[in-house]
Amino acid sequence: MAGPAPARREKAAAPREKTEPNTLWLYGLHTVAAALANPQRRLRRLLLTTEAEAALAERLPRPWKIQPERVERGRFQTFLTEDAVHQGIALLCEPLPPVPLEDALARSRGPVLLLDQVTDPRNVGAILRSAAAFGAAAVVMQDRNAPPETGAMARAAVGALDSVPVAREVNLARTIQTLQRAGYWVMGLDGDANNTLAEARPKDRPVALVLGAEDTGLRRLQRETCDELVRLPISGAVESLNVSVAASVALYELVRKD
């Protein structure tokens, strides 16, 4: 009589690689290509598969600022999360330094977005993508109560993290006042406001839009400092929009031509 079948041995997982201090992994073709093309990026390592190397060279012709390392696809599991859609390419780099708001305003009079305690990195990344699409001058976050730059944020931004200026300010209310002195009309997005954004949108000056956290909305000081509160005219079938979706709709309304 045959004995029990031998137990199947589970393949040991590869040990996790430690990330160097003050660095992060960016991943995905568009994200990495944008970072490599950004002269402000300080690069450490570029890992890619054979297929990804060909795709990157097609999107961003050589020479690159860093020598790539050819790796097998399984290598990415040792330093990225399981759900990371990396496409066989990852870049170890330092976070971008914040951009002074006055520098961003000197380069563009496009809309400015201020994020009041928006803490989800993927939401911030999606907002940056919309900001790039609609020509925003800058996205402003607080030093505190705002996520640091992460791979997930950069992946959601699809390259926009390296093209849209991101300013980090200590006090958003004072930043609103700075924008007002610079000629901006500052509007806070609030579902209970009387006027819609389309009704209130000025045609003779640039606009800054303040977006609050999904669960709490705008804080009192930001509400009181804005020039005006406005809303998006959404159906009663939903209570509110995701903050990144609201940002995209609002930016479209701000830049559209009548």
Q: What is the pTM of this model?
A: 0.90
CB atoms inside a 10 Å sphere around CB 12: 6
Instruction: Say if residues 147 and 122 touch (Cβ distance below 8 Å).
Output: no
Distance CA 52, CA 252 (A): 34
**At 107, which amino acid appears?**
R
Mean pLDDT rounded to a whole number for the chain? 92
Instruction: Say if residues 35 and 41 touch (Cβ distance below 8 Å).
Output: yes
Walk along the chain (258 residues) and give the pLDDT tens digit of each residue: 555 665 555 555 567 777 778 999 999 999 999 999 999 999 999 999 999 999 999 999 999 999 999 999 999 999 999 889 999 999 999 999 999 999 999 999 999 999 999 999 999 999 999 999 999 999 999 988 899 999 999 999 999 999 999 999 999 999 999 999 999 999 999 988 999 999 999 989 999 999 998 778 899 999 999 999 999 998 777 777 899 999 999 999 999 876
DSSP secondary structure code for residue 12 in this structure: P
Distance CA 106, CA 58 (A): 34
Distance CA 65, CA 62 (A): 9
Question: What pLDDT sits at residue 21?
Answer: 83
Q: Tell me, rounded to whole angstroms, the distance of Cα 103 from its chain centroid.
A: 19
Q: Which residue is associated with the tokens 């919309």?
A: 130
Instruction: Say if residues 114 and 221 touch (Cβ distance below 8 Å).
Output: no
User: Which residue blocks in the chain are alpha helix, DSSP H?
Assistant: 29-37, 50-59, 101-107, 121-133, 151-157, 172-181, 197-200, 220-225, 243-255
Question: What pLDDT sits at residue 6?
Answer: 58
**Closest to 28 measured CA to CA, from 14, 48, 12:** 48
Instruction: Say if residues 143 and 117 touch (Cβ distance below 8 Å).
Output: no
Instruction: Say if residues 197 and 187 touch (Cβ distance below 8 Å).
Output: yes
List the structure tokens of 5. Answer: 């079948």
User: Residue 39: is the preceding peptide bond cis (ω within 30°)?
Assistant: no
Question: What pLDDT sits at residue 17?
Answer: 78
**CB-based burial of residue 34 (10 Å sphere; 0-12 exposed, 13-18 middle, 19+ buried)?**
buried
Question: What pLDDT sits at residue 16?
Answer: 74
Element housing 89 (H / E): strand 89-93
DSSP secondary structure code for residue 217 in this structure: B
**At 95, which amino acid appears?**
P
Question: What pLDDT sits at residue 145?
Answer: 83
